[in-house]
């Protein structure tokens, strides 16, 4: 017996080992319906697969089978890898993939999966604010600062409060901040309608009539103005690595720069010459890389803010020209300054900054000399040098995406736009060529802050597609987007808190997270680095066991560990650069139909069409079922029935008859739970888990009753009462919440004489017809009950035939809800 037990144990362990040897990586945030949709299958053994399935997570039914598998062989830590292409799968909903012995996490397919995603990076930007910090509701670095490196003003006090902390330390750089400002403004310029106004200018909750992204950009611009007090004076850095004295919250920063603990910090004057207070020096050769960034941020800021702050915009416009002239006068790079350690932003290019500044000022002023300058500067760096390279120094080629090329490629001058379109394409080709046979199509170099390069690549891919309509690089674009959302060797989402239920960094290198245990949602972490970089950086380590050891390779590593600042530290500029592409994805979520919505639920179809849907709900009673069936059959129309799990279990024969009659059948809550408080509608009475189990159990009851589930899943909540939580949670599972159209009191057919809300059947009928005469019933969802309490003897279903005849006489077409709301499918175009 003992030997048999040991044998059984070893066999069980072997099975566990096999099942743990395969993984399927997917985009945990989800896919747009018309996306190029690819998952990546990984195995650390020599097994292979020939097919895969997609299973509906709500119904547990296999909905798709495919053999579209592209083998990629051994890569990194894996013996075998494959790309599973399901681009032709167009259903909306929540699903998971089965392949070999592995199952993927659940994922959504819908065009609304990125709804409001663009707001998430702004959370992190507000949290990174220096000066008054709205997250902490306190101020930090109130004594900034003291000028250094100025030939006559060194040691002088200057007010440079504001801006953002660069990462999880509290240094501040114009290099990254000006780029972050431009990125946010650029995102707004391309997709202005997707940005909300939920916060005031100081970052506190509340509307101020200005989109939040512009509030955030202006916060940065205000700081730039302090760093550029006159046309000849530019500063580019506050503080240095003397800041690195361990984790501390910004309002508790005790770093001492010679003026007292927690007091003044140094403000670096731009000299155009090498800087570094101790042994280590940068390689500065001029001013253009910094002042060019000032100029482009000022110029685009003037254009975007003129509606809200006309005098401020006028000032920015003047400052843009002054900064640009300074760059022309002093070409070269103005790098950030190291101090005790050798690390700094080693930016070696500057013509891209002047190119962007020139074309932006040209767009603002129309002066053709700026366009000529922009073209000339652009020709000096046709392709951003990291594209196609195996490595680069820290921020050597920055910004990582050249938006000056995009601006020139957008010009009407055909010779100019063709030249810079070609340059954009060449860069993308180089990265694609470097990706070669990579299972994830990732051709970027895994240098420090590699995720910033991923975002830059996504941005360039999309801008090229937007300009040309050419989809040549779309697979790489979506693959890199999916990389950020978990389709990577580690199965890790790279944006903290996005998606909220995803496997994102839980232990980021951040004082907010580690000391305050605060969420730092929206922060884009550095991302994977070459193993050689991780092994050679000063002070980097792991605080415990590497949970991702099975996925690490000799080439590249990533760690969700607070002690690894090389891969798991969020960056302010990388986060800001997310705004453009997330704005595009959010724009895809905007309803492209004519259906009316309240709190995420559809309550009416297209009001321009004379269509009506008759909906019947049921839980306990079914006394009207046969009368309703006969009437509908007599009138030759199809209706929709939303029934609880208890109803499906109690009236199995009836529901089969209803489906055979051609009616639409759907869920109404498994146990007829009240989800939301009657008085405080924003008070949800159930947890997400309880709700989703209730809905899943309702669908299970349907399948157990022998009901074939419809392709388009709609759900009508119990008591016809819900809030945004309920509609969102149902949508996560792939079911669109709907409700009746208010105004007719059709749903009062359940009331009994003892109720104050009692309405007789004649009253209900008259109100429906009066409403139709005074308004219309176009697109209406008229809700009734399949059965009512025996205490109500006046049954409205006895009026059903008369009502249908009268509505038909007024040329209404009575249809199922999936027909009435079919425009909802246009969301999935």
Give per-residue pLDDT as tens, 704-736. 999 999 988 999 999 999 999 999 999 889 899
* Nearest residue to 34 (alpha-carbon basis) of 120, 82, 92: 92
Q: How far is CA 196 from CA 203, 357, 574, 586, in A?
A: 13, 28, 21, 11
Give kind and range of the element (H or E) at residue 764.
Answer: helix 761-774
Mean pLDDT, residues 544-557: 96
Q: What is the pTM of this model?
A: 0.87
Report the C-alpha gap between 603 and 594 in whole angstroms: 11
Report the C-alpha gap between 95 and 84 in whole angstroms: 15
Q: Which residue has the tokens 């991780």?
A: 534
Ramachandran class of 491: left when φ > 0, alpha when ψ lies in -120 to 50, beta otherwise: left
Q: How far is CA 318 from CA 130, 321, 354, 446, 578, in A?
A: 26, 5, 16, 40, 29
* 609 Cα distance to chain centroid: 34
**How do 596-598 and 93-99 pair as beta strands?**
unpaired
What DSSP state is assigned to residue 383?
A: S
pLDDT, one tens digit per residue, over 94-143 is 999 999 999 999 999 999 899 989 999 999 999 999 999 999 999 999 99
Give kind and range of the element (H or E) at residue 188.
Answer: helix 174-190
Mean pLDDT, residues 808-823: 93
* For residue 750, cis peptide bond before it (omega within 30 degrees of 0): no
Beta strands in 587-689 (DSSP E): 596-598, 601-604, 611-618, 640-643, 664-667
Mean pLDDT, residues 196-225: 97
CA angle 583–587–593, rounded 5-degree value = 170
Mean pLDDT, residues 311-331: 98
Report the C-alpha gap between 795 and 789 in whole angstroms: 10
Can you give the pLDDT at residue 802?
Answer: 96
Residues 6+ apart with CB under 8 A from 210: 197, 201, 218, 308
Q: Which residue has the tokens 């603002």?
A: 364
Q: Work out the number of other CB atoms within 10 angstroms of the CB of residue 62.
A: 12
What DSSP state is assigned to residue 53?
A: E
Q: Which residue has the tokens 């009506």?
A: 612
Contact 180, 220 (CB under 8 A): yes
pLDDT at residue 828 tops 80: no
pLDDT, one tens digit per residue, over 369-401 is 999 999 999 999 999 999 999 999 999 999 999
In the chain, % of residues over pLDDT 70? 96
pLDDT at residue 13 tops 60: no
Can you give the pLDDT at residue 4?
Answer: 40
Burial of residue 606 (number of CB atoms within 10 Å: 0-12, 13-18, 19+): middle
Report the C-alpha gap between 779 and 595 in whole angstroms: 8
pLDDT, one tens digit per residue, over 753-769 is 999 999 999 999 999 99
Contact 480, 535 (CB under 8 A): no
Mean pLDDT, residues 25-35: 96
Q: What are the φ and ψ backbone dihedral angles of 495, each rounded to 5 degrees?
A: -115, 120
Can you give the pLDDT at residue 594?
Answer: 78
Tokens of residue 427, six digits: 């860069």
Can you give the pLDDT at residue 824?
Answer: 54
Can you give the pLDDT at residue 17?
Answer: 32
Tokens of residue 529, six digits: 């680095």
Q: What are the φ and ψ backbone dihedral angles of 491, each rounded to 5 degrees?
A: 65, 35
Contact 339, 240 (CB under 8 A): yes
pLDDT, one tens digit per residue, over 414-458 is 999 999 999 999 999 999 999 999 999 999 999 999 999 999 999
The mean-pLDDT minimum among 299-313, 502-516, 581-595, 679-693 falls in 581-595
Burial of residue 233 (number of CB atoms within 10 Å: 0-12, 13-18, 19+): middle
Q: How far apart are the first and last CA of the chain?
A: 62
Q: Which residue has the tokens 């997330």?
A: 582
Report the C-alpha gap between 565 and 97 in whole angstroms: 34
Give Rg (Cα) of the chain. Answer: 31
Q: How far is CA 50 from CA 22, 352, 568, 623, in A?
A: 14, 47, 36, 52
Mean pLDDT for the chain? 94
Report the C-alpha gap between 641 and 386 in whole angstroms: 59
Can you give the pLDDT at residue 591?
Answer: 67
Residues 6+ apart with CB under 8 A from 144: 130, 159, 160, 161, 238, 264, 265, 267
Crossing angle, helix 310-329 and helix 212-226, to 10 degrees?
50
* 128 Cα distance to chain centroid: 19
Q: Which residue has the tokens 């000028």?
A: 147
Contacts of 254-259 with C-beta under 8 Å, sequence gap 24+, read 255/170, 257/146, 259/143, 259/146
What DSSP state is assigned to residue 413?
A: -
Contact 447, 487 (CB under 8 A): no
Residues 6+ apart with CB under 8 A from 62: 53, 54, 55, 56
Contact 481, 43 (CB under 8 A): no
Report the C-alpha gap between 780 and 775 in whole angstroms: 11
pLDDT at residue 12 tops 50: no
Strand partners, 616: 641, 784
Is residue 148 classed as helix, strand or coil in its secondary structure? strand
Can you give the pLDDT at residue 781?
Answer: 98
pLDDT at residue 19 tops 80: no
* Nearest residue to 72 (alpha-carbon basis) of 441, 545, 486: 441
Contact 737, 602 (CB under 8 A): yes
Burial of residue 436 (number of CB atoms within 10 Å: 0-12, 13-18, 19+): exposed
* 66 Cα distance to chain centroid: 28
In the chain, % of residues over pLDDT 90? 94
Q: Work out the number of other CB atoms within 10 angstroms of the CB of residue 289.
A: 28
Residues 6+ apart with CB under 8 A from 48: 71, 80, 82
pLDDT at residue 11 tops 50: no
Contact 39, 22 (CB under 8 A): no
Can you give the pLDDT at residue 521?
Answer: 97
Q: How far is CA 648 from CA 88, 102, 657, 660, in A?
A: 34, 33, 12, 15
* Nearest residue to 316 (alpha-carbon basis) of 179, 224, 185: 224
Is residue 704 classed as helix, strand or coil in its secondary structure? helix
The mean-pLDDT minimum among 1-10, 20-29, 227-236 falls in 1-10
Contact 801, 631 (CB under 8 A): yes
pLDDT at residue 827 tops 50: no
* Nearest residue to 244 (alpha-carbon basis) of 344, 138, 340, 161: 340
Question: Is residue 14 very low, low, confident or very high in pLDDT (cuts 50, 70, 90)?
Answer: very low
Residues 6+ apart with CB under 8 A from 354: 288, 292, 324, 327, 328, 331, 373, 377
Can you give the pLDDT at residue 684?
Answer: 97
* Nearest residue to 567 (alpha-carbon basis) of 114, 167, 89: 167
Q: Which residue has the tokens 């989703």?
A: 692
Q: CA-CA-CA-CA torsion for 584, 392, 25, 582, nearest 10 degrees?
A: -10
Contact 18, 101 (CB under 8 A): yes
Tokens of residue 761, six digits: 């059947």
């Amino acid at each position: 017996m003992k030997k048999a037990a040991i044998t059984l144990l070893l066999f069980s362990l072997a099975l566990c080992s096999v099942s743990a040897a395969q993984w399927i990586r997917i985009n945990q945030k989800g896919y747009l319906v018309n996306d190029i949709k690819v998952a990546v299958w990984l195995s650390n053994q020599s097994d292979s697969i020939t097919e895969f399935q997609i299973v509906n997570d709500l119904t547990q039914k296999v909905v798709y089978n495919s053999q579209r598998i592209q083998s990629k062989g051994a890569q990194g830590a894996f013996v075998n890898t494959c790309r599973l292409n399901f681009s032709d799968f167009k259903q909306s909903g929540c699903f998971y993939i089965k392949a070999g012995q592995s199952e993927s996490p659940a994922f959504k397919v819908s065009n609304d999966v990125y709804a409001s995603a663009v707001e998430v990076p702004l959370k992190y930007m507000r949290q990174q604010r220096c000066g008054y910090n709205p997250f902490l509701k306190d101020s930090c670095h109130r004594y900034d600062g003291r000028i250094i490196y100025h030939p006559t003003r060194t040691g002088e006090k200057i007010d440079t409060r504001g801006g953002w902390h660069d990462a999880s330390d509290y240094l501040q750089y114009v290099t990254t901040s000006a780029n972050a400002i431009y990125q946010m403004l650029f995102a707004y310029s391309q997709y202005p309608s997707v940005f909300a106004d939920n916060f005031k200018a100081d970052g506190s909750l509340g509307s101020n009539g200005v989109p939040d992204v512009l509030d955030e950009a202006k916060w940065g611009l205000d700081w730039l103005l302090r760093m550029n007090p006159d046309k000849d004076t530019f500063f580019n850095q506050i503080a240095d690595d003397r800041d690195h004295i361990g984790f501390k919250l910004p309002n508790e920063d005790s770093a001492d720069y010679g003026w007292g603990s927690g007091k003044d910090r140094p403000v670096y004057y731009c000299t155009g010459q090498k800087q570094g207070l101790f042994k280590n020096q940068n390689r500065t050769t001029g001013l253009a890389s910094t002042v060019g960034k000032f100029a482009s941020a000022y110029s685009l800021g003037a254009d975007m803010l003129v509606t809200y702050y006309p005098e401020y915009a006028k000032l920015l416009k003047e400052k843009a020209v002054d900064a640009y002239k300074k760059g022309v006068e002093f070409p070269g790079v103005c790098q950030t300054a190291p101090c005790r350690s050798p690390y700094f932003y080693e930016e070696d290019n500057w013509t891209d900054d002047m190119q962007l500044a020139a074309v932006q000022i040209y767009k603002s002023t129309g002066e053709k000399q700026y366009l000529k300058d922009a073209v000339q500067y652009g020709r000096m760096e046709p392709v951003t040098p990291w594209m196609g390279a195996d490595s680069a120094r820290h921020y050597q080629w920055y910004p990582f995406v050249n938006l000056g090329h995009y601006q020139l490629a957008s010009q009407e001058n055909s010779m100019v736009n063709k030249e810079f379109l070609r340059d954009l394409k060449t860069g993308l080709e180089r990265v694609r060529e470097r990706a070669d046979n990579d299972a994830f199509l990732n051709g970027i170099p895994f240098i420090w802050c590699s995720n910033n390069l991923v975002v830059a690549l996504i941005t360039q891919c999309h801008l090229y597609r937007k300009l040309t309509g050419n989809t040549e690089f779309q697979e790489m674009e979506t693959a890199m987007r999916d990389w950020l959302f978990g389709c990577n060797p580690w199965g890790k989402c790279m944006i903290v808190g996005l998606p909220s239920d995803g496997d994102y960094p839980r232990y980021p290198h951040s004082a907010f997270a580690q000391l305050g245990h605060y969420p730092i949602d929206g922060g884009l972490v550095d991302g994977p680095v070459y193993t050689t970089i991780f092994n050679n950086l000063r002070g980097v380590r792991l605080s415990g066991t590497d949970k991702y050891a099975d996925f690490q390779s000799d080439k590249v590593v990533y760690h969700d560990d607070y002690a690894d600042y090389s891969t798991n530290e969020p960056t302010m500029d990388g986060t800001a650069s997310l705004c453009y592409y997330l704005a595009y994805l959010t724009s895809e979520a905007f309803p492209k139909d004519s259906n009316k919505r309240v709190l995420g639920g559809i309550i009416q179809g297209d009001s321009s069409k004379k269509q009506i849907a008759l909906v019947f709900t049921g839980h306990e009673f079914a006394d009207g079922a046969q009368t309703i069936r006969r009437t509908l059959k007599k009138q030759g129309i199809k209706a929709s029935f939303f029934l609880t799990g208890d109803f499906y279990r109690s009236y199995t024969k009836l529901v089969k008859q209803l489906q055979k009659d051609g009616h639409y059948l759907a869920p109404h809550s498994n146990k007829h739970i009240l989800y939301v408080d009657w008085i405080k509608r924003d008070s949800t009475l159930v947890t997400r888990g309880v709700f989703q189990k209730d809905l899943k159990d309702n669908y299970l009851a349907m399948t157990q009753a022998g009901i074939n589930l419809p392709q388009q899943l709609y759900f009508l909540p119990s008591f016809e009462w819900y809030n945004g939580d309920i509609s969102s949670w149902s949508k996560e599972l792939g079911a669109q919440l709907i409700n009746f159209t208010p105004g007719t009191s059709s749903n009062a057919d359940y009331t009994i004489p003892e109720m104050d809300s009692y309405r007789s059947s004649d009253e209900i009928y008259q109100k429906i017809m009066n409403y139709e005469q005074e308004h219309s019933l176009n697109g209406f969802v008229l809700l009734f009950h399949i059965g009512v309490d025996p205490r109500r003897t006046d049954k409205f279903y006895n009026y059903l035939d008369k009502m249908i005849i009268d509505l038909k006489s007024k040329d209404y077409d009575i249809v199922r809800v999936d027909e009435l709301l079919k425009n909802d499918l246009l969301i999935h175009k």
